[in-house]
């Protein structure tokens, strides 16, 4: 296969580029219609979902594909990877920063003008000027900032025309990590309650909450009532079945298998045994 052929195949979107590690997006995404269609229709009908499945099974890639699809229809989609986030202050700032500019500016102005916010809390208004915001200094003051900041967001989201789709990756892991670092169960419940309130008004927000341990498992483990999450029913991302796996591996790809970029059939059958 010549470089020209390869370029042509990429152009025709028939050649996938194998990638390892990070979630795949766009052309690198091999379609998984079962999960993608179910999630898109759930979200378009005003619902929310918790996505769970084994590590490395493709959950984040599915979320990215669903977000890409909804964006092509003109919807605002926000993807928040909570892995490594300093805390709920960061979560909030990142969410607001990725809203459409007019809404983001209104929220930031309201935050900046909120007389009850002082010191480090004031600096989150830097999100307005697109400056990098260091949220570490506010994470310890959860009780001071969570309610006032989230109420502003909620009030302005309600007045805003058009809903928002929010994808929160690794949320159970993030919340566990927060507890390990000393956050109280009450704080975690406050975060869950806010997210629930936001997604309960399907005019303002739908959410996908994702993690390999799953939200239900997290709540069980920490003895937190299930009703914090039962309005975002689980969607399981399972392994590919034999035919799907075969089709996936039979797609021409760069650098693997025989010269035409296909997995040799003997190798494929031994892999799928
Ligand atoms: N639909 C897909 N098309 C092509 N490759 C995929 C697809 N889904 C997953 N992969 C491959 O698997 C890897 C892991 O995918 P992804 O990060 O989406 O899984 P995950 O379930 O979110 O993993 P983790 O448990 O680490 O969060 C990707 O780097 C990619 O190599
Ligand atoms: Mg992932």
How many CA atoms within 13 Å lie on the side-chain side of 229? 26
- The pLDDT value recorded for residue 138 is 76
* CATH (one of 3.90.1170.30, 3.90.15.10, 3.40.50.300, 1.10.3720.10) for 33-237: 3.40.50.300
C-alpha of 243 from chain center: 28
State mean pLDDT over 191-199: 97
Ligand nearest to the CA of 169: 2
Average pLDDT, the chain: 85
pLDDT on residue 144: 84
Residue 194 is encoded by which pair of tokens?
């806010």
CB 107 within 8 A of CB 150: no
pLDDT one-digit tens code per residue, 20-74 = 578 999 888 988 999 999 999 999 999 999 999 999 999 999 999 999 999 999 9
C-alpha 250 to ligand 1 mean position (Å)? 18
Considering only CA atoms, which of 173, 239, 179, 166 is closest in space to residue 206?
Answer: 166
Atom of ligand 1 nearest to the CA of 56: 23
- pLDDT recorded at residue 47: 97
Q: Is ligand 1 within 6 A of the CB of residue 50?
A: no
* Cβ-contact 62, 51 below 8 angstroms: yes
* Every domain range in the chain assigned CATH 3.40.50.300: 33-237
Beta strands in 200-258 (DSSP E): 205-211, 234-236
Residue 24, pLDDT score = 92
CA 48 to centroid of ligand 2, rounded, Å: 18
pLDDT bracket for residue 253 (50, 70, 90): low
User: Tokens in use for 26?
Assistant: 């766009």
**Percentage of the chain exceeding pLDDT 90:** 55
- Give the pLDDT score at 125: 63
Closest CA relative to residue 99, chosen from 149, 34, 156: 156
The atom of ligand 1 lying closest to the CA of 169 is 27
Which ligand 1 atom lies nearest to the CA of residue 63?
18
Question: Nearest bound ligand to CA 28?
Answer: 1
């Amino acid at each position: 296969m010549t470089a020209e052929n390869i370029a042509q195949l990429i152009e025709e979107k028939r050649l996938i580029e194998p990638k390892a590690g990070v979630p795949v997006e766009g052309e690198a995404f091999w379609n998984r219609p079962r999960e993608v269609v179910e999630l898109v229709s759930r979200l378009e009908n005003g619902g929310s979902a918790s996505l769970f499945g084994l590590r490395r099974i493709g959950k984040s890639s599915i979320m990215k594909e669903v977000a890409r699809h909804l964006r092509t229809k003109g919807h605002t989609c926000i993807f928040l990877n909570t892995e490594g986030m300093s805390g709920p202050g960061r979560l909030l700032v990142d969410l607001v920063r990725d809203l459409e500019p007019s809404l983001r500016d209104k929220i930031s102005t309201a935050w900046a003008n909120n007389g009850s916010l002082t010191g480090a809390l004031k600096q989150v208004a830097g999100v307005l000027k697109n400056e990098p915001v260091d949220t570490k200094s506010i994470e310890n003051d959860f009780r001071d900032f969570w309610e006032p900041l989230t109420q502003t967001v909620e009030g302005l989201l309600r007045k805003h025309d058009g809903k928002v789709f929010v994808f929160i990756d690794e949320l159970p892991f993030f919340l566990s990590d927060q507890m390990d670092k000393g956050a109280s169960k009450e704080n975690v419940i406050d975060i869950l309650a806010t997210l629930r309130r936001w997604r309960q008004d399907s005019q303002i927000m739908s959410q996908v909450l994702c993690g390999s341990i799953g939200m239900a498992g997290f709540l069980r483990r920490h003895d937190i009532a299930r009703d914090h999450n039962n309005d975002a029913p689980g969607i399981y991302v399972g392994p590919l079945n034999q035919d799907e796996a075969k089709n996936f591996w039979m797609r021409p790809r760069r650098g693997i298998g025989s010269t035409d970029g296909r997995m040799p059939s003997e190798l494929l059958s031994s892999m799928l045994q």
